[in-house]
Structure 1
Amino acid sequence: MTALPEPSANEPHLFTVAEYAALGEVEFGYSELQEGRILMSPSPAPDHNHASLQLAMQLSAQLPAELEVIQDVDLDLELTEPDAPGFSRRPDLLVLERRARRRVRSEGGLMRASEVSVVIEIASPGSKRMDRIVKRGEYADAGIPHYWIVDLAEPVSLVACHLAGEFGYQDPGDVTGVFTTDVPFPVRLDLDVLV
């Protein structure tokens, strides 16, 4: 882990994505990078982790060969130049190109938004606004084609957002029970097993 730079008396240090990646974990819980500023979040609750694992297992069994699902990794949103204050999120799940993990293993760095097909966030009581508004805008700006938001408040629901050009994400509304789609790949998710 790299030490945090000393803040200036005049203004705080704004991190690039590369500087952020070099830090490793800075505290318990996890961090994300928003316009160069490090945001800290508590570790997820057991129900949250259970839901993430259940989703990952269901997805993994249904993905096309060129895609895989990965839990809880840093994602460079590629919204700024490499030397500018950056944006990095840690989604609960990513469905992305299988070759992305090999690239990170050989080159280092973070997963990239341009490698992602679907980003999934599981909303927690303290993250609903962040997930439904802030991250929705950032993921759309990053060009991630699909953003799924899962809410564990019973009944468990999923809203499947898809990019609609200059309008950002559009969605048909929340689904409960069983979520099925053919886009971006055929999948059937039993939402009731998430709690």
Structure 2
Amino acid sequence: MPGLPDWMRPPRAEGWFAEDLDHLPEAPRHTELIDGALVFMLAPQRSWHSRIVTALTAALMRQAPEGVEVAQTMTIKLDARNRPEPDLLATTADFEGDRTWFAPEEVRLVVEVVSPESAHRDRTVKLRKYAEAGIPHYWCVEDEDGAPVVHVYELDEPTGAYAPAGIFRHTLQRELPFEIGLDLDKLTPSRER
């Protein structure tokens, strides 16, 4: 393809691999790898999305027990050809200075806040891929007339798939992956509802 920068060309005929993301300094900030293809987050984030991610991160950081850290903008190396970047995650891993990704067994919870451009990936592709990688808890946060609604999933180990564990409006109380209590109405300004 003429005009395509060299860094956008896969280094091999099979496409991209997870370790390739660490060697793409020219790539946009939130670049993911899904099935060997680069996925760029080029659309500007809505303020609702940003507000929810920030508020959820702060709330989960306050409630996380010792040994559990909450992080944003870190990828998870699910396998050789998949390295998504969830909106936030809870991990038991150490935060080493040069670390750029976590392994699935280090991740206890993944949270995706759905945007129009990510809706299909968040609701179907990532739901399946995170489950197949063995991540025990997945939350998908939807915008319902300006209010956050959290769809909670738990991994059913015998099937390797997520089972719905509840849809939460206004408040969320969970014992897993750790004791969590959230007032969902306080995650967004009242003028947005």
Instruction: Identify whether the pair has TM-score above 0.5, normalized to the shorter chain.
Output: yes
Residue aligning to 2:67: 66
Structure 1 gaps of 5+ residues are 81-85
TM score, norm. by length of structure 1:
0.84
1:159 aligns with 2:160: no
Residue aligning to 1:92: 87
Q: Deviations over 1:159-192 (max 9, x none)?
A: 1101002150001342100000111211101111
Pick from 135, 149, 152 the counterpart of residue 144 of structure 1.
135
Percent identity, please. 28
1:114 counterpart letter in structure 2: E
1:38 aligns with 2:43: no
Question: For the residues of structure 2 that align with 1:31 and 1:18, how far apart are their CA atoms?
Answer: 13
Where 2:138 maps in the other structure, the secondary structure is strand
Residues 142 and 68 (structure 1), Cα distance of their counterparts in 2 relative to 1, 3 Å cut: same
Residues 149 and 69 (structure 1), Cα distance of their counterparts in 2 relative to 1, 3 Å cut: same
Residue aligning to 2:162: 169
Over the aligned positions, Cα root-mean-square deviation in angstroms equals 2.2
Residues 181 and 25 (structure 1), Cα distance of their counterparts in 2 relative to 1, 3 Å cut: farther
Structure 2 gaps of 5+ residues are 1-5, 189-193
Q: Is the 8 A contact 2:155 2:161 kept in 1?
A: yes
Question: For the residues of structure 1 that align with 2:128 and 2:118, how far apart are their CA atoms?
Answer: 15
Q: Deviations over 1:97-119 (max 9, x none)?
A: 141x12xx25x442222210000
Structure 1 runs (4+) deviating above 3 angstroms are 5-8
Where 1:163 maps in the other structure, the secondary structure is strand
Question: Matched residue pairs, number?
Answer: 181
Residues 89 and 6 (structure 1), Cα distance of their counterparts in 2 relative to 1, 3 Å cut: closer
Residue aligning to 1:4: 7
Residue aligning to 1:180: 173
Question: For the residues of structure 1 that align with 2:16 and 2:178, how far apart are their CA atoms?
Answer: 36
Deviation at 1:7, TM superposition (A): 5.7
Question: For the residues of structure 2 that align with 1:7 and 1:72, how far apart are their CA atoms?
Answer: 23
Where 1:65 maps in the other structure, the secondary structure is coil
Q: Is the 8 A contact 1:25 1:31 kept in 2?
A: no
Q: Deviations over 1:65-95 (max 9, x none)?
A: 1001111222211x23xxxxx1011100010
Residues 6 and 171 (structure 1), Cα distance of their counterparts in 2 relative to 1, 3 Å cut: closer
Residue aligning to 1:53: 54
Residues 30 and 44 (structure 1), Cα distance of their counterparts in 2 relative to 1, 3 Å cut: same
Where 2:165 maps in the other structure, the secondary structure is coil
